[in-house]
Each structure stands twice: as C-alpha cells, then as structure tokens.
C-alpha cells in the first residue's frame, strides 16, 4: 500500500543530502557516547506503512549503528503489492525515505529476494544474503540485533548459507501467532499470522536454527495502537517528513473504511517495538527493562502456522507487554526535533519553489 516512488516524484520530494548515518545534526545537544549496539533492519517496506515509522524512528536513534537495511518481499498475492517485485519496490521506497530525510547513506540499503524459500534446505540468493553474512562475521564486539518486521526469507537464506552467523546475533521478530497460555487470537484472526504467512518455510528454518530469538507475537504487536488524533497532531504536524508518514497511513484508513464500513480512529504501529527493544534499552545492565517477556523453549513452527514443542530446545524470549509510552513519546519527540532542524536549515526551500 505504501506508494512506490517514480523517478519524477522521487526527484520532487528529495532534499539536498546533508547528513549521513552516524551523524545527528538535528540534535542541539549531541549524543554523549557512540552507538553501543548494531542493528540490521529487515522489513517489507512495500506493505503496511507501519514499517516506515519504524525505519524513520531507528534512523533517528543514535544509540544504535545501522550497517544494513534489508528491503524484503511480501507474499505473492499480498493486496498491498501483488506485483511480484515487492523487494525491488521496497528498496525504492527506502531510497525515497532517505531522500526525504536528506540522508546520504544509501549504500546501507540492500535488496532481498522477491520470492519465498522453495524448500527448507535451499536458500534464495539475493544481495541481502551476502551482506547479512558479511556483517555478522565482521569483527565487532558490540551486540548485533537482526530486527525483522516482515517475513524471514533473507535471514533464513543467510543461515542456510553460513550457519555460523546464528551465534553472532539475536533476532527480534514481529510475527507469529499467540502462544497457548499467554494469549488468545483476536476475533476472525488470519489462520496463519500475517508476517509468518509471507514465508512459513523461512520461519521454520529460523526457529530450527541456533539463533537466539526475541519474539513479539501478534497479541503484543496489536497493543501498539496510536490514535488518529495523535498521528495528526504529533506526526503530520512535525513537517514534511511527518506529513508523508501520516499520508501513507491515511491511504490505509481510506481503504479500510471502504471495505469495513468505516475506518477506526486508531492504528497499530506494530513494527515499532523493534526500536523500543534495541535503541531504548536501559542504561545500566542494558536490556528491554521497561517491557515484559517470558522465557520458554523455542518451539518448531508447523505448516499451519502453529507451534510444536521440541525436547531440549534452546530458550527464547516471548514478549507479553511492551512499553508503548516510552516507544511512542520518543518517536514523536524525535520527529519534532528533526522537523524543526529541517525547517531551520531550509531543507525544503528548493522543493517548494519547484
């Protein structure tokens, strides 16, 4: 559903590149220390626009270094983008966001596969797979988080290609169904949770690997509701970037209103916990200390999207509640701070004259 930029409108919206990742020119008081963790971002940016909010929020968070942004695919029949080129479109959308932010670090954007795994032993080649492996094997003592807000095709392909990377990073995944005893599915729920449905086989491969997993299942990412009033007053009002983010969701509101007899006044920014659990960890004994999780054996994922217990499985985290106050207040303030800086520097003057 996210609008795919064309050369014409991408040029119209671009501003002069004035900063690079690792810089924070919009902060009047600069960061007092360097990034303490690395984050590989993986999302299906041609789909639900909540991933744009997560992307921008992460890009404005100086406590993490972002070496890679993986533009991944949707399922072939996804109504958000049924083109069969959703990874390519996702890459173009991320480049467009960088242009709107005046961000020059487009070398960090890598394309994933346009297709799901063909089998549990066969990786899908893509530029992202090689880049993931290289970053995971790079000599760096800081924690490496792989944060995924969609399917897991490219991570699964990287694990199949080079299994050693499993011990060198932690996966934080927005996806998967509710766990029995912790939550129940919502009314009229999809039989297979949306993100898992993108590539069930990839989910099976990743859960069967040795990679540590922090899971934010469907019942938890549905907690991340913001109101339309918040979006209008605290996102759209922060400047051209905020207005772009709001307008992308407004298109979904309009679509929902047509098909469901009226739109809701709230929307789930369900990918935002990826920022909360990485960039907004506690100062002392760093962890996601303001959110709650349980530790349980990592199950296998079944073909119908459920879970099956595995004897002797490695432990995983399953989050049961996330700190939406910290998460969204931080996002709103960073958008406002960035918008004030762009306004003060006249970043959009040329575009307005054009």
Range of weakest confidence among 34-43, 122-131, 144-153, 256-265: 256-265
Q: Is residue 194 part of a domain?
A: yes
Report the number of distinct structural domains present in the chain: 1
- pLDDT tens sequence across 24-76: 999 999 999 999 999 999 999 999 999 999 999 999 999 999 999 999 999 99
Q: Is residue 242 part of a domain?
A: no
Q: Is residue 327 part of a domain?
A: yes
Q: How would residue 8 be classed by pLDDT, with cut points 50, 70 and 90?
A: low
Q: Is residue 21 part of a domain?
A: no
Say which CATH number the domain at 222 has: 3.90.245.10
Q: Is residue 335 part of a domain?
A: yes
Q: How would residue 289 be classed by pLDDT, with cut points 50, 70 and 90?
A: very high
pTM of the model: 0.95
Directed axis angle between helix 324-344 and helix 50-59, to 10°? Answer: 70
Q: Is residue 92 part of a domain?
A: yes
Q: Is residue 175 part of a domain?
A: yes
- pLDDT tens sequence across 105-129: 999 999 999 999 999 999 999 999 9
Show the domain range for 69: 32-228+269-343
Q: Is residue 208 part of a domain?
A: yes
């Amino acid at each position: 559903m996210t609008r795919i930029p064309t050369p014409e409108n991408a040029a119209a919206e671009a501003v002069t590149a004035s900063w690079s990742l690792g810089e924070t020119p919009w902060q009047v008081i600069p960061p007092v220390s360097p990034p303490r963790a690395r984050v590989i971002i993986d999302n299906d940016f041609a789909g639900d626009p909540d991933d744009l909010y997560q992307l921008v929020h992460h890009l404005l968070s100086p406590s993490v270094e972002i070496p890679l942004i993986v533009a991944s695919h949707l399922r072939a029949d996804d109504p958000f983008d049924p083109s069969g080129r959703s990874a390519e479109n996702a890459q173009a959308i991320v480049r467009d966001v960088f242009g709107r932010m005046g961000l020059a670090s487009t070398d960090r954007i890598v394309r994933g596969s346009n297709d799901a795994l063909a089998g549990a032993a066969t990786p899908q080649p893509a530029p992202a797979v090689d880049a993931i492996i290289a970053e995971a094997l790079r000599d760096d003592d800081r924690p490496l988080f792989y944060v995924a807000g969609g399917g897991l095709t490219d991570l699964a392909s990287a694990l199949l290609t080079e299994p050693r990377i499993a011990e060198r990073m932690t996966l934080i995944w927005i996806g998967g169904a509710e766990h029995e005893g912790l939550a129940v599915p919502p009314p009229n729920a999809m039989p297979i949770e949306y993100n898992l449905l993108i590539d069930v086989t990839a989910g099976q491969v990743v859960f069967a690997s040795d990679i540590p997993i922090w899971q934010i299942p469907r019942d938890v990412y549905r907690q991340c509701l913001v109101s339309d009033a918040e979006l209008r007053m605290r996102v759209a009002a922060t400047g051209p970037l905020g207005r772009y983010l709001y307008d992308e969701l407004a298109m979904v509101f309009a679509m929902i209103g047509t098909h469901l007899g009226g739109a809701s006044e709230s929307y789930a920014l369900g990918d935002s916990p990826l920022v909360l659990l990485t960039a907004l960890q506690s100062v002392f004994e760093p962890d996601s200390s303001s959110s709650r999780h349980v530790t349980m054996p990592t199950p296998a994922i079944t073909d119908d999207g459920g879970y099956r217990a595995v004897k002797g499985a490695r432990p995983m985290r399953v989050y049961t509640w996330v700190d939406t106050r910290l998460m969204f207040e931080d996002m709103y303030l960073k958008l406002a701070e960035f918008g004030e800086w762009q306004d003060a520097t006249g970043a959009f003057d040329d575009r307005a004259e054009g």
